Structure 1
Amino acid sequence: MIGAVVTRALPTNSAHPTRKRHVGSSGKPLHPWSIVRRKQWRCSRDRCRAVGYDPSDSLDDENVTSSVSDALAFPEMIATYEEDAGIQTKYRNWRIWIFAMIWLSYMVYYLTRGSFTYAAPTMVKDLGWSLKEVGRITTVFPLMYGCSKFASGVLVDVLGSRTILALGLVASGTINILFGTQSALLTLAILWGANGFFQGFGGPSCAKLLTTWYPSEQRGTWWAAWTTSNNVGGFIVPLMVGSISSTAGWRVGMTTPGVIALVAGVIVYFGVRNKPKSVGLPSPHEKSYSKQDSDRSPAQDESNASPSDIVFKYVFPNRAIWALAFAYFFVYIVRQGMVSWSHFYLMAEKGIPDAAQASATVSGLELGGLVGAMVSGWLSDKVQGHRIRVVMGYCLGLVLALLAFRFAPSGNQAVNAFLVAAVGFFIYGPQMLIGLIGAELSHPVAVATGNGLLGWIAYLGAAFAGEPLAILVNQFGWKYYFLGMISCCALPIILLAPFWNARKYEDVC
């Protein structure tokens, strides 16, 4: 081992035949000062290794024994690396806490988003409505939600994630509570439209926090794990609101998620921190965690950018954001096209006799999507952040899955269920990753705004999957439905090909 102390016995004719002395690698006796320096170095080496650094990787025997000052310089090095170890521990704890906050908050957003859907059957009976009134209320939600995604992104970049994330929860919770006290159709439609607007505050806020707190090489995994919150929320809300509405009435069913959202909003406001700097930590984008770097931030020089600068200087001129936005548009057509029409296709073409069985088969879309999103995030980290390549690969896989779904033999429900899950696997990967890529290819001061723009255009794609696809099926048949869906899978590959190597904002601007 470099720098090790070597002991050799003296010759037998020495005056002290049993005494040993310290010698260097050349065999010459060491000066007493060198022995002291070596002992200091060995102690320093062990302490450095304890915090994950081995100085023997960069120092040789001559460097160690050259001067007393070399040995005495190690305590400063040790202090630096021990400080790094403390920072890493603090960072790990804060990352776990921040992730818990954004995961739970987004899950609660889904509780107040889906509450009306599962309270509506009881409302219809109680208020003497038909499905027509329910349809009018539900129509205003996606319109307001899509518009809110872009506007809330600007607000997040200006006011900070913590404020907007908590405000959205408190506002949505309050609206759910007020909804449970009203009966007039117009009032309820206005309230539900306002809920759609404040629901848009969640996604951009969480996207900003994920890009601020987590390094690029880990972000895909963290982002994918965060997206599971909507699956969990979507699973809980029908059980909670549906059971409460049937036993205690729809008004209590609406009020319960509202109260939960109010409590969650308060916890988020006091528990979340916008940046690592606010708790004395360096930016995760810095390779060094030394003290002198702790005040650095990629956006330090432009942290006070105005909303107009954010939109017109950093977002609109960004070619990659627009390419991602239109790729998102087509991905959402495929996603919503499967959600809205695949059960009709199963009944019309695959021999499934009733809507219940078709719906059960289509439920595999979400299960496959959950696995696909997690795998895509993990895989995008493994390929060193080349996430666009993963999206393009998933789109190609989606083409193959849709073709298999189209030409699979009818009558075999197990095969159809597997193919629906496979389609979901390849849909939800790009859906998750495009939002993450948009955050990474945005200027640091415009992450939420860029993410909001993507969400807005994506929901336009979801709307396009409604009546236009219905017309396509009614006039031309299912063959052209699949032709349109496969075309929508191919277009993102073409749009994203120019950005094959892009991983960060500097690669595209």
Structure 2
Amino acid sequence: MTKRPTVDAASLEREGAEPFRQKNPETFARYLARQKIVFLVAYVGYVCAYLVRNNFKLTSEKIRLAHGWSLTEVGVILTAFTITYGFGKFFMGMVVDRTSLRRTFSLALGASAIVCITIGYLESLPLLFGAMLLLGMIQGALAPASMTMIANWYPNKTRGSAIAIWNTSQNLGGAALPLIITGLLAWAGPANLAMAFWVPGVVVLALSALFYRTAGDRPEVEGFGTLRDIYGAAGSPQVHHESTSSYWAIMKADVFTNPIVLTVAAVNALLYLLRFGILNWMPAFLGTEMGFSQPQYSTAFSALEWIAIPGSFFFAWLSVKYPNKQSIVGFWGLVLLAGLILFYMGNRNYPLLLLCTGLMGAL
């Protein structure tokens, strides 16, 4: 039996883009350079999103003890972000489909930085609750905007790889912030908690101004033509709807009545319930209940995010190698995760804590 030769996705796209390249060599060269810049902005920008997202979460136990607040009061504040962030990703995802991606992304990032700086100086529970509600809604725009930027600049065959690499930006940002806060508090003293908010906030605010100039709108808006113009069929969206279909008709057909999408959404919601439950309460549980220091539980928080990066690539490899075994891999992954959570709840050994949180992040 003759084995069919394999052709990588990049080769297919280069072939599709060859007519455009020959006809418009300078434009094509500028497009490729711009594509790299857009990806870099989307990646670094989403790292920045995490530098102004979890600041209250990571300092919540020290703030709680300093003000004499209860765990319930802190829990309500943390829940405020979670609620609006979930709704924000959905509704703001619809907004970014209809607005300038460059402006939406950079302005939302800048607004997040301003809210983060403000939170560092708030001592009123109602004001903190309102600020976290606002932060969650604003941050909800950043993931859809950055993913849409990449989707608009990468054709079908390489779009998935670009998104997969971009997806590690959240882990990089989530891992970096605890170490940054630990370093700032070690340098300025544990009483200077506001530094955990305004230092990352000022840096991200400055970068958001840069991103306002360099982030990417759709290629056709910037004068390059559509992906179909550049790549031919390789750049055409793989959809089954007529172009006249309304937005809500597409949402109803492909999302709200699609059992596969709804099942994946339900599983993802449960996983986020675990994720937020562990991370939101890590400072209080590890710091007060289990007796670990702030640098120790911050490092454990960081380890969970760092190990998630190779973990995501490993499970992506498994899904490609065993395309019909994802449910089995997912089942045993959840069983192992449950065991790790039980171990985490009773462990007081620091090296084992780092190992446990790292493995939880990988899963």
Q: TM-score, normalised by structure 1?
A: 0.53
Number of aligned positions between the proteins: 325
The residue that corresponds to 2:158 in the other structure is 218
Instruction: Within 5 Å, give how 1:73-84 maps onto structure 2.
Output: 82-83=22-23
| Equivalent-residue separation in structure 2 for 1:269 and 1:174 (angstroms) | 16
| Equivalent-residue separation in structure 1 for 2:68 and 2:356 (angstroms) | 41
Q: Residue 206 of structure 2: which of 263, 273, 295 is its match?
A: 263
Distance 1:378 1:287, change over 3 A: farther
The root-mean-square deviation of aligned C-alpha atoms, in Å, is: 4.4
Q: Conserved in 2, the CA contact under 8 Å of 1:368 and 1:422?
A: yes
Instruction: Within 5 Å, give how 1:346-495 maps onto structure 2.
Output: 366=305, 369-375=308-314, 390=323, 393-403=325-335, 425=362, 427=363
| Equivalent-residue separation in structure 1 for 2:56 and 2:306 (angstroms) | 24
Q: Conserved in 2, the CA contact under 8 Å of 1:122 and 1:245?
A: no
What whole-Å deviation, never above 9, does each CA across 1:263-292 have from its counterpart, x for those lacking one? 2221222111211123332333457469xx
Deviation at 1:188, TM superposition (A): 1.5
User: Residue 127 in 1 paired to residue 67 in 2?
Assistant: yes
Deviation at 1:372, TM superposition (A): 3.9
Query: What is the letter of the counterpart of residue 208 of structure 2?
Result: G
Instruction: Within 5 Å, give how 1:131-210 maps onto structure 2.
Output: 131-210=71-150
| Equivalent-residue separation in structure 2 for 1:133 and 1:228 (angstroms) | 32
Q: Percent identity?
A: 22
Distance 1:415 1:237, change over 3 A: closer
Q: Conserved in 2, the CA contact under 8 Å of 1:148 and 1:198?
A: yes
User: Residue 331 in 1 paired to residue 263 in 2?
Assistant: no
Deviation at 1:220, TM superposition (A): 1.9
Deviation at 1:178, TM superposition (A): 1.9
Query: What is the letter of the counterpart of residue 395 of structure 1?
Result: S
Query: What is the letter of the counterpart of residue 250 of structure 2?
Result: Y
| Equivalent-residue separation in structure 1 for 2:123 and 2:275 (angstroms) | 34
Distance 1:172 1:324, change over 3 A: same
Q: Conserved in 2, the CA contact under 8 Å of 1:221 and 1:377?
A: no
The residue that corresponds to 2:11 in the other structure is none
What whole-Å deviation, never above 9, does each CA across 1:156-215 have from its counterpart, x for those lacking one? 011132222122112111112222332212112111111111110111111211211111
Q: Conserved in 1, the CA contact under 8 Å of 2:53 and 2:116?
A: no
The residue that corresponds to 1:251 in the other structure is 194
User: Residue 99 in 1 paired to residue 22 in 2?
Assistant: no
Q: Conserved in 1, the CA contact under 8 Å of 2:20 and 2:28?
A: no
Q: Conserved in 2, the CA contact under 8 Å of 1:168 and 1:202?
A: yes
SS in 1 for 2:204: helix
Distance 1:399 1:282, change over 3 A: same
| Equivalent-residue separation in structure 2 for 1:185 and 1:415 (angstroms) | 36
What whole-Å deviation, never above 9, does each CA across 1:335-356 have from its counterpart, x for those lacking one? 64477579xxxxxxxxxxx787
User: Residue 110 in 1 paired to residue 50 in 2?
Assistant: yes
The residue that corresponds to 1:236 in the other structure is 176
The residue that corresponds to 1:318 in the other structure is 254
Distance 1:274 1:368, change over 3 A: same
Deviation at 1:102, TM superposition (A): 0.8
| Equivalent-residue separation in structure 2 for 1:258 and 1:304 (angstroms) | 43
Distance 1:404 1:191, change over 3 A: closer
Q: Conserved in 2, the CA contact under 8 Å of 1:220 and 1:378?
A: no
| Equivalent-residue separation in structure 2 for 1:79 and 1:280 (angstroms) | 18
Q: Conserved in 2, the CA contact under 8 Å of 1:285 and 1:298?
A: no
Which structure's CA Rg is the greater one?
1
Gap regions ≥5 residues in structure 1: 1-51, 54-77, 343-353, 384-388, 428-509
The residue that corresponds to 1:27 in the other structure is none
